[in-house]
Amino acid sequence: MRARLDEVTAGELALGGAVPALTCYDFTTALAVVGAAEDAGRPVILLVAPKTAAGPGGMRFIAALRGLADSASVPVLVQLDHAADPDLILAAAKAGADSVLADGSALEPAENAEFVAGVVRSLAGLDIVVEAELGALPGDEDDASAAAGADATAGMTDPATVAAFLEASGAGLLAVAVGNVHGNYKGEPHLDWNRLSAVKAAAGSLPLVLHGASGLTEADLGGAAAAGIGKVNINTELRTSTLAAVEEALPAMRAAGENMLGLLGVWTGSAAATAAWALELLRPQTPTT
């Protein structure tokens, strides 16, 4: 069912939980993620990478995810992730995305806020929730090894800039950089919880977003909601587990009469298991029933 990203994340936060957001490059993965959410009775977010949206059939893919989300028995959000192109953002919103990360993280905070405010204005009347990112995460959303040599402490969110940024940008959620990276971490990840606490104090009740969740410990992820994180983005973990499962099953499926259905079953099973793990880990502490 359709829902608003700000309301769903705030609702989960109030119960002590967070909503997982999983990158879907294809419809099979999205079906698996939505099925896992329905089994768990929990909301979930389908992330569309900007390269997917801008690629061949990108808008048709978003429209198909819209249909999938609307037919689900739980709230399913469709978000265009990390978009810096206003034309792509508007096209995705018209195709069926209900939220977008207007990514001005490469800009100075004041210019970033101006960029996000422009996106908010351009989407007025379309019922789209806009997430912003303040500070900049190292790495690349689509490349697991891009952050391998990166310093995770570079570009962290400055709590002193948060209140003015939110006021000027009109963002509904805020993605933070507190030692998190996109892709695989170089060594042990270390989140800066003190910084996160200062960001939360400045952001008030606005839900925060933790990108780069793959590779963080279960203790980190389990403690995220208490620190104000209402949305947790996962991509690499899903790609790694799905590709490993498909690679292992492929020879047997080829030998069994080019068994495409069997291979897709393995793919779906693996993606659903990763989604179920995230849904359970981020489940509210307070029983909802």
Segment interacting with ligand 13P, rule: CB under 6 A, options 118-126, 165-173, 190-198, 233-241: 233-241
- Identified binder of ligand 13P from the candidate list 9, 52, 169, 235, rule CB under 6 A: 235
- Identified binder of ligand 13P from the candidate list 3, 8, 23, 72, rule CB under 6 A: 23
Segment interacting with ligand 13P, rule: CB under 6 A, options 6-14, 57-65, 86-94, 209-217: 209-217
Is 195 a residue that touches ligand 13P (CB under 6 A)? no
Question: Catalytic site residues?
Answer: 81
Is 236 a residue that touches ligand 13P (CB under 6 A)? yes
Is residue 194 a contact partner of residue 156, using CB atoms and an 8 Å limit? Answer: no
Is 135 a residue that touches ligand 13P (CB under 6 A)? no
Segment interacting with ligand 13P, rule: CB under 6 A, options 5-13, 37-45, 128-136, 235-243: 235-243
Is 214 a residue that touches ligand 13P (CB under 6 A)? yes
Q: How far is CA 212 from CA 118, 149, 236, in A?
A: 26, 15, 8
Segment interacting with ligand 13P, rule: CB under 6 A, options 199-207, 231-239, 241-249, 274-282: 231-239
Closest CB to ligand 13P among residues 232, 263: 232
| 251/88 Cα distance (integer angstroms) | 39
- Identified binder of ligand 13P from the candidate list 42, 182, 195, 200, rule CB under 6 A: 182
Binders of ligand 13P among 31-50, rule CB under 6 A? 47
Is 141 a residue that touches ligand 13P (CB under 6 A)? yes
Is 234 a residue that touches ligand 13P (CB under 6 A)? yes
Shortest Å distance, C-beta 206 to ligand 13P = 18
User: Which residues have CB under 8 Å from 55's CB, separation 6+?
Assistant: none
Shortest Å distance, C-beta 209 to ligand 13P = 9
Binding residues (CB under 6 A) for ligand 13P: these are 23, 47, 81-82, 141, 182-183, 211-214, 233-237
